[in-house]
Amino acid sequence: MIEQQVIQILSKHCEVPYVDIALHHRIQQDLGVDSLGVVEIVLDIENQFDCECPDHKIRSLRTVADVVEFVKNSA
């Protein structure tokens, strides 16, 4: 469930079809998201899952799996 919601958010921001996004994809390199896009994704993740991502943690969210793991650990 969390994985699917995270991928939907990423799909919306990077304009890559949902079905083409995998856990191993790197957000910036593979999905083409720039640094501002990463911030927007984090804001959406925080709103969707009612969690807070400290600024220093954002840099460690490199792959789709990293984001999913962050959300799971924030719940």
Enumerate the active-site residues: 34
Number of H helices, E strands in the chain: 4, 0
Q: Is 16 left (phi over 0), alpha (psi -120 to 50) or beta?
A: beta
